[in-house]
Amino acid sequence: MLKFTSKILLFIFSFILFYACSPTQPAQKKISLVDKKASTQVIELYKKLEAISKKGFAVGHQDATSYGLGWNYKNDTTKIQSDVKKVTGDFPAVFGFDLGWIEIGKEYNLDTVPFNLMKKLIIDAHKKGGIITISWHLNNPITEGNSWDKTPAVSSIIKGGSEREKYELWISRVADFLHSLKNNNEAIPVIFRPFHEMNGSWFWWGGENCNPKDYVTLWQETVELLRDKHNLHNILYAYSPNKLNPTDNYLTYYPGDDFVDILGIDIYDFNNAEDYIKSVKQDLEIVKKTAVEKNKLYAFTETGLESLKTENWFTKVLYPTIQNSGICWVLTWRNYDTKHHYMPYHKQLNETDFIEFEKLPNTLFLKDINSIN
């Protein structure tokens, strides 16, 4: 009996030892989105972003197909253009748009892009396989000034505030536009990035103009209005503070895990590459650590060097700094004119450098992400 028992114990020990020493894949965490009723297309977009982050990073451009140097889509709707495509032969992978002024019933946004044409461009970008990210530079609800009017206003638009009714009207106009984004009668998935750079004081919703508690309430109520009242299920929600100061906490304004899908950060190069590189490396490491802890995706949600006066900025400054960061995408700001642009155009100083940037292994443009399953 003792001999038989010993054999059983030996077998059990060997069984445990075998499986303990066998290589196993770490368990994949289940996707947990803000919207439990998220559309299939939204879930697919999330998985696509995750796959992209393992290959490199998608390259994006704000207003990429709306206008550029020497052209404007609203003046010529016969063909869809892009300064990025004109230089590299391919479109960006991420297309940025802004809904500023839709809230006040304008037919065009604060950058003079008509909303009916914006809708057409979003649908086209989606059909091409592109990723859509949408910001919202909304007016100040108290003064009716622009986003940069620093008059505190957040407390007036959360529940119980004097301008709550106005804000709900504004949200309904945003919702109507987002509802209209369809391809073959299916809602186009978008990444919505409202109330960004809230740790700075240049917008009425951030910094010295709004306390973190009210900001969190505004974010949460905005999500609830879009998701629950207006039944929008085609949205991923992105949180993006500005560059962190030494005393800043990345999560000071964080609305909570149940209200954010993607973590991001906005950092610009103000003609000081050394400082920029240091900030990007430090801050993206903080974002990465936070995202891993919270099982979230993360991105470099806004960046750029205005006028691109630093030679080889893309290959020598940007690329080495974010090459192995694990971000899903990087988005540069818009190309308005020769003084205010963030992507090169024909004969611009960094045109050749950007062509080289496009060829690097981790930079993913439209054709590249379309080959990722």
Tokens of residue 321, six digits: 């700094």
Three-state SS at 98: strand
What's the pLDDT at 94? 99
Give per-10-residue mean pLDDT for the chain (373 aa): 41 40 43 96 98 98 98 97 98 99 98 98 98 98 98 98 98 98 97 98 98 98 98 98 96 98 98 98 98 98 98 98 98 98 98 98 98 91
What's the pLDDT at 373? 81
The torsion angles phi and psi of 359, rounded to 5 degrees, stand at -85, -10
Question: Under 8 Å CB-to-CB from 241, ≥6 apart: which residues?
Answer: 196, 197, 198, 199, 248, 250, 252, 253, 265, 266
pTM for the model stands at 0.92
Q: CB burial class (10 A; 0-12, 13-18, 19+) of residue 242?
A: buried
Q: Which domains does the chain have, with CATH numbers?
A: 41-370 (3.20.20.80)
What's the pLDDT at 30? 80
Question: Under 8 Å CB-to-CB from 225, ≥6 apart: which residues?
Answer: 168, 171, 175
Question: Under 8 Å CB-to-CB from 323, ≥6 apart: which residues?
Answer: 362
Tokens of residue 326, six digits: 């694990």
Quick: pLDDT tens for 228-243. Answer: 999 999 999 999 999 9
Three-state SS at 22: coil
What's the pLDDT at 16? 39
The answer to whether 296 and 289 have CB atoms below 8 angstroms apart is no
Using alpha carbons only, give the angle 283, 288, 291 rounded to the nearest 5 degrees: 125
Which residue bears the tokens 């010529």?
A: 76
What's the pLDDT at 21? 39
Quick: pLDDT tens for 5-34. Answer: 443 444 444 443 333 433 332 334 688 999
